[in-house]
Amino acid sequence: MRCPRLRLISPALLLLAPLAAGPAQVAPAGPVVTVPARIPADCSVDVTAELSAWIAAVPNDTTLTFPAGACYRIDDSLRLTDRWGLVFDGNGATLRAVADTPALAQRRHIWVSGGGRLVFRNLTIRGANPRAGTAEEAYRADREFQHAFALQGVSDVRLERVAAYDVYGDFVYVGPDIGRGRTFRWSQRVTISDATFARNGRQGIAVVAGEDVLITRVSIRDVRRAVFNMEPTGDRWGARRVRITGNTTGRSRLLWFSSYGRGYDVDDITITGNTMQEPSGVPVIFVVAPPGGRRGRFVIEDNTFIVTGSPAPGFRFTRVGHVTMRGNRATFAEGRRMTAVRLIDVPEAVIQNNRFCGAAQAVEADASSRAGVSGTVTQCR
């Protein structure tokens, strides 16, 4: 086991502050229209086509409201392509998928491609996954893209006080516009706030081609894979200036935060003030860049973590340019002799004032890593 090379922490390094993710800028929409009364609002029949036709007929810069407590059955995707300035005020309504056949494998419940200045608020999505959650059978490879909200190549989008349950895919997927004949572009300025997500079949919130993303005051539990996922699918994909702050998480089967995948363009990721109420797999935070390069800066401050399971390290960073872990409290499983933080090819790391309660050691670093460690303890009272 290698011991970390310790050094004094540079004052300039201590002054580094995470770049704040810019919130979505959305202007108030103009006219207000309500779902037509002719569309059944009791989930008795599939109304995907009727809702889609109504949305298509509404002009840009409009607020679309739903009756309070209504339930609309959508067995296919509600698709928005290149729409601008729409506010979907759910008013407590539910969009529910009932049918579950191979022909519907590629649906996304709300699927947005291009466009922007969009708001979805006070709206609940219920998927058709009868085994959603952390069990093995929650994941279905043939249905893994059935996300509650799929945002692809969008700009300035807010999800406010939304909820999603029992989907086969992710609760929220933030990715690129990759439709046939369309220009490849990342999503930009996406805010997810005050949301509730529970039981799914894949990732919690995935940002795989997005920048300036804010995830705040969200409750997420019973996630089949990782709670937060930033694993680029291709070399042109990635995540920049993502802020994960003030969220509460329950159990997940795999990791709490995962950044594996292809490419190096994952940078300025800030994780602050989050609370784990139930454990995930370990490492809790797992960042690995492909060989030949490094990913950018990760700042992890003032979080509460639960670290259980295998004797793997609680937090692992491989080929990352800069890591700051400051003011975190992590409770480690007794008797596991776990290392709190493992650094592999991390040239700059600040590990300061953390309480890694029950860990065997605070930091393990290879010869190519440099860690400034201060004020961090493993024995807590």
Please name the residues in contact with 175: beta carbons below 8 A apart, sequence gap of 6 or more. 150, 151, 152, 153, 186, 187, 206, 208, 209, 210, 233, 237
3-state secondary structure at position 56: helix
3-state secondary structure at position 12: helix
120 vs 45: CA distance, rounded Å:
23
List, for residues 22-81, the tens digit of each pLDDT value: 566 666 568 999 999 999 999 999 999 999 999 999 999 999 999 999 999 999 999 999
The token duo for 196 is: 């509730």
360, with CB counted inside 10 A (0-12, 13-18, 19+), is middle
380 vs 328: CA distance, rounded Å:
13
Q: Taking a C-beta distance cutoff of 8 angstroms, is the pair 48, 71 a contact? A: no
The token duo for 144 is: 């893994």
68 vs 54: CA distance, rounded Å:
18
CATH 2.160.20.10 correct for 11-281: yes
pLDDT of residue 248: 98
State the DSSP code for 103: G
Name the residue with tokens 């409770």.
Answer: 331
Name the residue with tokens 């894979």.
Answer: 225
Could you tell me the CA-to-CA distances from 223 to 150, 201, 228, 360 in Å, in that order?
Answer: 17, 7, 10, 29
Could you tell me the CA-to-CA distances from 147 to 53, 127, 175 in Å, in that order?
Answer: 21, 9, 12
The token duo for 164 is: 């999603």
pLDDT of residue 10: 36
Q: Taking a C-beta distance cutoff of 8 angstroms, is the pair 206, 229 a contact? A: yes
The token duo for 192 is: 């997810």
Which helix or strand (DSSP H or E) is residue 14 part of?
helix 11-14
100 vs 69: CA distance, rounded Å:
24
pLDDT of residue 312: 86
- According to DSSP, the residues that pair with 374 across neighbouring strands are 352
Which helix or strand (DSSP H or E) is residue 207 part of?
strand 205-207
135 residue type, one letter? A
Please name the residues in contact with 273: beta carbons below 8 A apart, sequence gap of 6 or more. 245, 246, 301, 302, 303
- According to DSSP, the residues that pair with 316 across neighbouring strands are 286, 342
Q: What secondary structure does DSSP assign to 18-43, as a single string?
A: PPPPPPP--PPP-SEEE--TTS--EE
306, with CB counted inside 10 A (0-12, 13-18, 19+), is buried
Q: What secondary structure does DSSP assign to 272-287, as a single string?
A: ES-EESS---SSSEEE
Q: Do you find a cis peptide bond into 18, omega within 30 degrees of 0?
A: no
304: closest CA among 332, 281, 285, 276? Answer: 276
Low-confidence ranges of the chain (pLDDT < 70): 1-29
93 residue type, one letter? A
